[in-house]
Amino acid sequence: MSNTDYKFEGWGAFGPDSIEGKFKWFEYEPKEFADDDLDEVDSRRPTVPVKILYCGMCATDLHMASAGWFDMSAFYPLVVGHEIVGEVVRAGPMVEGGLKVGDIVGIGAQSDSCLKCARCREHKEEYCDEGQIGTYAAIYKRTSPGSKSRGGYANYWRGPSHFVVPIPSNLDPAAAAPMLCGGVTVFSPLIKYGAGTTAKDVGVIGIGGLGHFALLFAKAMGAEVTAISHSQRKVEDAKAMGATKFITTHGHVDDAIKGHERSLDLIICTTSDPNMPLSDYLRLLRPGGTFVMVGAPEVDAMPELHPFFFILNNVHLTGSAIGSPARICEMLQFAGDHNVRPWIKRFPLNEVNKAVPSMHAGEARYRYVLVNEDNGGKL
């Protein structure tokens, strides 16, 4: 057992078929509690153990549990979940940000980085030169080298305090949970590419967990928002989230795009559709516009694009990964200030095997949040 009086237990994905409703509850060894190694300044930042109250369910959890992107055999049994809200239950004297026992805190999709490279020093830890340490399915290097990271479909979480943020008291902690990955992944490029300022017209492709956050945030930033979905099913919801235009791409994409060409300054693409009509989407951008890929379909390659398309239209194609702890804090503050309210549905933690297949079937409207009632989470 670890050096605590509580056990780390959670729902494990034991193989790719776990997402069919086959997660199993098990006990595991958490990350070693980081000690005060005086040779290495960074390793003097103790890890923070957190009693988990809520954990949002991100599509990445499903891609990873089912080995849709990568071979996961080295990581099974895998404890996924990286939209964690909980209560600090132990904090050493070196924790960052003044975190203390009893604080309600959040952890997103990244839980460590080198903290030394230029990217880390300028608060872009998500682009660390040594790579991100994911909140699950990674091996810690900086502290507790060799320990596996484990996520939030569990009762406790432990990890470096640098990646733990306080949850502001004006936010519902259950609703804040999915912001920690899904929210910040779209908030970050919306801010970076000027939604509502230099980018007046913003399009959002894929109205799922991330997409619904993109609509809510872009609207709150003052942009005119277009929702782009593969079906008509979400049109009313998208309007309620602030979209004023709706494009349905199912069927004849050409017809769908007609009249909307060169109407957008910024597109946030969240879809997981492996057959997305990328070149048609790019036609929606004005010259100088930016297309940001955040959705990550389970495919090996992107569709082919002709160089002249870029030359003659001067559009930018880029991607964006999650957001740094500083960006997460900025987003939580923005969400509180602008009363951004995510559309969530709560499931008891012990209903993981109901919630995951339902999410996999595309039924979430728009984010599922697991609630650990034993630890004090509220259904």
Ligand X SMILES: NC(=O)c1ccc[n+]([C@@H]2O[C@H](COP(=O)([O-])OP(=O)(O)OC[C@H]3O[C@@H](n4cnc5c(N)ncnc54)[C@H](OP(=O)(O)O)[C@@H]3O)[C@@H](O)[C@H]2O)c1
Long-range CB contacts (within 8 A, 24+) of 119-128: 123/324, 123/325, 123/326, 123/327, 124/324, 125/162, 125/163, 125/324, 125/325, 126/321, 126/322, 126/323, 126/324, 127/321
Q: Is 177 in the site for ligand X (CB under 6 A)?
A: no
Pairing state of beta strands 201-205 and 47-56?
Answer: unpaired
Using the contact rule CB under 6 A, the part of the chain among 33-41, 152-160, 230-238, 335-343 near ligand X is 230-238
Q: Judged by CB under 6 A, which of 143, 147, 229, 263 binds ligand X?
A: 229
Position closest to ligand X via CB: 208
Q: Is 124 in the site for ligand X (CB under 6 A)?
A: no
Structure tokens of 86?
């909980």
Q: Judged by CB under 6 A, which of 160, 206, 325, 377 binds ligand X?
A: 206
Q: Is 117 in the site for Zn ion (CB under 5 A)?
A: yes
How many amino acids of this chain bind Zn ion (CB under 5 A)?
9
Using the contact rule CB under 6 A, the part of the chain among 56-64, 96-104, 255-263, 304-312 near ligand X is 56-64
Structure-token match 């509580």, residue found: 6
Integer Cα distance of 264 and 254 in angstroms: 16
Give which of Zn ion, ligand X, none residue 117 binds (C-beta under 5 to 8 Å, depending on kind).
Zn ion
Integer Cα distance of 108 and 106 in angstroms: 7
Output the smallest distance, CB 122 to Zn ion, in A: 10
Reply yes or no: is the peptide bond before residue 77 cis, omega within 30 of 0. yes
Q: Which of 161, 27, 166, 192 shows the shortest CA–CA distance to 90?
A: 161
Q: Judged by CB under 6 A, which of 45, 219, 234, 283 binds ligand X?
A: 234
Give contact residues for Zn ion (rule: CB under 5 A).
Answer: 58, 60, 109, 113-114, 117, 120, 128, 181
Give contact residues for ligand X (rule: CB under 6 A).
Answer: 58-60, 63, 181-182, 185, 206-211, 229-231, 234, 270-273, 294-296, 320-322, 362, 364
